[in-house]
Structure 1
Amino acid sequence: MGWSSANRIFDPIARALQDAHVPAESRRKILGDLIDGLQDGDWDTEDESLEGFLDDPAVVLAFADHGVHLSDRRCCRASLADDPRAQLLSMRSDEVDEAEMVRALDAFVGAPYRERAHLLALLAAMTSGAVLAPAPDVDEPGWQILFLTIGDQQCSWHIAPADIDLFAFVEHVPAIDPRAQWNGHTTDEKYERIAEHTAELAQHCGPECAEMHTETGRCEIARNR
């Protein structure tokens, strides 16, 4: 007989960690240990708690680390929203050979991903403090996460092994580096921040500034207005 009341233990702790702004990797580790302990007690309604935290990739990944997914895999779509290749791979059924699916995905998303990587490399070159760190949330070796600060806000992207060569100029740091700690932002929040910063730059600078930005983040034209 399963243990359904464990949700009343897990959910408040997960919310408390969110409210305390505990870093994402720490939340994932703490909640992962909690999930492990509750599963030892025959917790069989984990999916109900998972359903309530789909907006927090750290919680979703903590459940995934312990084999808990929603039947329709919405959890995978939530945690891998900015990584369509990994998202599709997570939906592979046991009847499909993994190597075969990897080859098909590489052929399907390889070119658009390369274009995306070129643009991110350009953005990294124009942004101070860019760092690249190993991706702890991807099992496939070689994946990295690019961390940028845009408009005083953290933004991050997964970078495929095949595209790492474009980021040779970016400082490579270990996953434990303080600058490579995901702050919990979602994909939607990331692009909202970018849109806001883009609008601010357009208002203060305008297209005539070209590439005249200084270390202060404002071009000479805007500084002299």
Structure 2
Amino acid sequence: MPSSGSPPAGTDLAADGEQVRDLYYERAHLLAVLAHRLAREAVIAYNDPREPALPVLYLDTAAGQISWHLNPKHLSLFDTVPVVQPSDPRAAWDGHDKNTALTRLRALAQLTSPAGESTQTDPVTLSSDIG
């Protein structure tokens, strides 16, 4: 399913709860930037059968689909991202795992220069090269 927003196995939430919450809140801000600035399309759906109460952010990027579970408390950061029905094709998970999502994220970072200008003229080639 989509890249998990759950803490790593063995995380002691009782001891590290506030720190973990802070990290996920910071991550949500970064995901909002990705959704608003770098995604060709971004949608949110409640369609993970293993985590039906968690919204999933799906980003269609030049490097391929990437997705993350979100904390519902952070949805205000994504106020311009439409929430779609679970069956919406834009929220169809492409089967990527966490490693593939991170590879695509790194590739996406290489697609743009610090000035925000594209350094890759053929995103389809990049997508096919990385899976």
TM range (shorter): 0.7 to 0.9
**Match for residue 4 of structure 2 among 66, 79, 82:** 82
Residues in 2 aligned to 1:133 and 1:102: alpha-carbon distance in whole angstroms? 26
What secondary structure sits across from 1:84 in the alignment? Answer: coil
Q: How many residues align?
A: 118
Letter in 1 for 2:79: A
Q: TM-score, normalised by structure 1?
A: 0.45
Task: Answer whether contact 1:133 1:144 (CA < 8 A) is retained.
Answer: yes
Higher relative contact order (CA 8 A, sep 6+): 2
Q: TM-score, normalised by structure 2?
A: 0.73
Residues in 1 aligned to 2:25 and 2:32: alpha-carbon distance in whole angstroms? 10
Cα displacement (A) at 1:121 = 0.5
Match of 1:40 in 2: none
Letter in 2 for 1:132: I
**Match for residue 30 of structure 2 among 101, 119, 122:** 119
**Match for residue 161 of structure 1 among 31, 53, 72:** 72
Task: Answer whether contact 2:3 2:69 (CA < 8 A) is retained.
Answer: no
Match of 2:83 in 1: 172
Q: Are 2:60 and 1:138 aligned?
A: no
Give 4+ residue runs of structure 1 displaced > 4 Å after superposition.
101-106
Task: After superposing the two structures, state which structure 1 stretch, 125-134 or 110-119, moved more.
Answer: 125-134
What secondary structure sits across from 1:147 in the alignment? Answer: strand
Cα displacement (A) at 1:81 = 6.2
Structure 2 gaps, min length 5:
122-131
Task: Answer whether contact 1:151 1:194 (CA < 8 A) is retained.
Answer: no
Of structures 1 and 2, the larger Rg is shown by: 1
Cα displacement (A) at 1:162 = 1.3
User: Which digits, 9 at most, give the CA deviation of each residue in 1:4-46, with x for residues without a partner?
Assistant: xxxxxxxxxxxxxxxxxxxxxxxxxxxxxxxxxxxxxxxxxxx
Task: Answer whether contact 1:135 1:158 (CA < 8 A) is retained.
Answer: no
Residues in 2 aligned to 1:181 and 1:102: alpha-carbon distance in whole angstroms? 31
Match of 1:197 in 2: 108
Task: Answer whether contact 2:3 2:67 (CA < 8 A) is retained.
Answer: no
What secondary structure sits across from 2:69 in the alignment? Answer: strand
User: Which digits, 9 at most, give the CA deviation of each residue in 1:117-171, with x for residues without a partner?
Assistant: 00100110012310001142215x3x10000012251110000111111111101
Letter in 1 for 2:44: L
RMSD of aligned Cα (Å): 2.9
Cα displacement (A) at 1:175 = 1.1
